[in-house]
Every structure is written in C-alpha cells, then in structure tokens.
Amino acid sequence: MINPDPKSPFIVWINTITIADPSSPSGQKKAQKKDQALKKAREIEAEEAKNAPNEKAEEEKVKTIRKLLDELTALTGPLFAGEKPNCSMEGKGLVFGGLRSSLYGSTMEAQTLTNIKMPAGSVPSVSHHASYATINQRRNQGGSYYILGHLLNHNLGGTGKDWKNLTPLTRDANSAHERIAESRVKNAVDAGNIVHYKVEAVYGRPKANSKDATIRDIKAEEVHVPLKLVCEANLITPAGVSSDNKESKTPLVPAGTVIDNEMGQNDADYDLTGLKRETVYLDSGDVDKIAGIDGVNRQLAQKIVDATEDKETRFGSFDALAGYVFTDGRQFTELQQKTIRSLPDHVKLFQN
C-alpha cells in the first residue's frame, strides 16, 4: 500500500524541483530543504528495501515509512511557496460522482488540494433518510455501528451537508481510511504541498437474509453499504518550479490503495438492543465515540468537544454544559441542549 514500484520514485521527483535564485537567502534556505528532502527520500528507499520476515515486522515497516513520508512532505512543502494554486472547490477542480442508488456518495476527485483558500469543510449534518435510519439500528456496544464517512475529509474542505460526499463505514474502516490515506494527504497539504486526491466507494454487496424481521430489514439496506474505498493521492510539482517546465507527480497514496469496509452478517453479529454499553466520556475529545451515543450526531459531538476545549476546566453538570456560552458567543441550540440534558447513564462528563 506504500510503494507498488521496485524503486522509490521520490528521489526522481525531488530532483525535478528547481530553486529560483539559489544564491539569495530564501533560495539558500530552499536549497537546504531540498537537500534534506533528498536525504529523507533515501531513508524511505532504504526502509522499503528491508526484508520483513513476518507480518508484525511488515506492519512496523509500513508505520516507519508513513512516518518518513510525513517528514518528507514537511520538507518539500516550503519549496512550492508562491507557486501553489488555490485549493480545489466544487466547480473548480473538485468533482463528485452521482449518488449510488440515490443514497450515498460514489466518487470524489480533487485536482489540487492546497492550503491556499481551502473551503470550509463540515462534519456530517445531513438528515438521515430511510435507508440510513434502517441500518443505523445496528449497534456497537451501545453506540452506532456505522459512521457517515467523508470521501473528502472535512479538514480538507469536504462537506458533511450533502450525501454525495458521505457513505456508511464501519468504525474500523473509517479509522483505516484516516490512518492510511486521509492523514497522509492532510499532513502533506498542511505542510504546503500540492496534492491530487481521488476516492471511490465501491458497491455491490450481496443481499443477506434473516428470520428476524428487524435484522432482515437491516440486511436488505446493507446492499447499499460499500464493500470498500479505493484511494489514490499524488504529490505534484507545478510547472513553474519543474526543471523541464512540466508538471510532475509522485505517489503519496499509491493508486489502487484499498480500504476494506468489512462486516459480519451472521444474525449473531447484529446487536440491536444496545445493552452492552461502554462508558463514554464527553471530555475525551473522541468525536466518533461521542457521535455513537443514541441521539447525538457528529455536529453535536464536535460542538461538545469544542466546548470542553473552549472552557478548559471541567463542567460541573450536564445543565452547565448545555447552557455554556463559547468565548466567541456561540451556544448550543434548544434541541442540542435538550439532547445534552437527556443523555443516557453510560455517558459521563469527565474521567475521574
């Protein structure tokens, strides 16, 4: 999932980057960054060449390469100062495919993600249609089994207000998407790089059956849950700083990187009662866990996290949280206040 080619392409890609006026102070700094980037690329190449004798060693090798990639993009980003285009937005370089079965997002492609004029993204805040409401009856230790996953992450300007950018993912798949693809892209863009990014949700799950009416209804709608996400991201050298005056690319997340959206579909895999309730702490900062509480959507979960960070000290009661006024003047809506005041017993304000 890191490098499908026999030899790392990063050294070739970095060597295409030219430094304008290398004798100037700013040019000297950029030349130093380029030298450091080449050194880091050689570290990646050396790590890729290592033999991993077992699965655990392979996992550690992949973690090391991902860490080195983040370090590499931190070095290359400053080389593109003054040459970056505005971040892609819908209608200008950001394209979404049509809804799959009029329900969920299918594809997303952003030609140039940059930290220049990136549009504001948002957490999922769509009204649940009948299909998602049905599969959302499936529980996971008292919380939601499915998460509305972004095709384009909200920290990269992805909207959570339109189904075309959302699809149901298991918690494991959502975490894998963030770990394997999204975090690489976010780190590269934040560091000043230009990134081309594609995500496709692949559907086609077969229909399963059940004697239990509720489980049967859920399984009938799970045919619309994607089997996997297929991701690709490339680092771009713009023509203006390229040695041959042509844009060039190198893989950041190689084409064909698969995020499996696996789930069990035996009747025993379906928790509908939510009796196994894991304690959820509102000061944990974990938006996914808080959004897993019945009646709490990601918008409210994010706002609760924001409130605990904004206040800096503990809330003494749920009433105090519900009535909190942010330093910027924001407040919880009446509906959000009502939800906070009626949270179930397994939800706690803070960890002891």
pLDDT score, position 26: 85
pLDDT score, position 294: 72
Task: Report CA 107 to chain centroid distance, whole Å.
Answer: 15
Q: Is 62 exposed, middle or buried (0-12, 13-18, 19+ CB in 10 A)?
A: middle
pLDDT of residue 306 exceeding 70: yes
Lowest mean pLDDT among 33-42, 117-126, 243-252: 243-252
- Average pLDDT, integer, range 145-160: 95
Q: Round the average pLDDT of the chain to a whole number and report it.
A: 90
Domain at 89-269, CATH class: alpha beta
pLDDT score, position 2: 43
pLDDT score, position 312: 84
Q: From residue 177, how far is each of 122, 141, 180, 262 by CA, in Å?
A: 17, 22, 5, 13
Listing DSSP states for 61-117 in one string gives: HHHHHHHHHHHHHHHHGGGGTTTPPPPPEETBEEEE-PPBTTTB--EEEEEEE-SSS
Report the C-alpha gap between 37 and 33 in whole angstroms. Answer: 6
User: How confident is residue 189, by pLDDT bands cut at 50, 70 and 90?
Assistant: very high
Question: Domain boundaries in the chain?
Answer: 10-80, 89-269, 280-348
Residue with tokens 């529980």: 139
pLDDT of residue 239 exceeding 90: no
- Average pLDDT, integer, range 234-249: 85
pLDDT tens-digit map of 206-228? 999 998 888 999 999 999 999 99
Rounded to 10 deg, the angle between the 55-76 and 183-190 helix axes is 20
Q: From residue 347, how far is each of 58, 78, 297, 324 by CA, in Å?
A: 38, 44, 15, 18
Lowest mean pLDDT among 75-84, 88-97, 126-135, 326-335: 75-84
pLDDT score, position 277: 58
Lowest mean pLDDT among 70-74, 93-97, 240-244, 325-329: 240-244
pLDDT score, position 1: 37
pLDDT score, position 52: 83
Strand 139-140, strand 143-144: pairing: antiparallel
User: Comparing 107 with 275, which gets the higher pLDDT?
Assistant: 107
Give the residue among 261, 332, 278 at the shortest CA–CA distance from 302.
332
User: How confident is residue 264, by pLDDT bands cut at 50, 70 and 90?
Assistant: very high
Report the C-alpha gap between 148 and 129 in whole angstroms. Answer: 12
pLDDT score, position 274: 60
pLDDT of residue 247 exceeding 70: yes
pLDDT score, position 107: 98
pLDDT score, position 88: 96
The SS3 call for residue 281 is strand
The SS3 call for residue 226 is coil
Residue with tokens 């499908």: 4
pLDDT of residue 301 exceeding 80: yes
User: Comparing 36 with 241, which gets the higher pLDDT?
Assistant: 36
Q: From residue 321, how far is each of 238, 297, 305, 338 by CA, in Å?
A: 48, 17, 11, 11
- Average pLDDT, integer, range 298-316: 92
User: How confident is residue 291, by pLDDT bands cut at 50, 70 and 90?
Assistant: confident
Q: What angle do CA 85, 229, 127 make, to 5 degrees?
A: 85
Report the C-alpha gap between 253 and 231 in whole angstroms. Answer: 7
Most confident of 66-80, 130-144, 164-178, 272-286: 164-178
Q: Which helix (H) or strand (E) holds 150?
A: strand 146-150
Strand 166-170, strand 347-348: pairing: unpaired
Report the C-alpha gap between 269 and 139 in whole angstroms. Answer: 10
How many Cα atoms sit within 13 Å of 176 on the Cβ side?
16
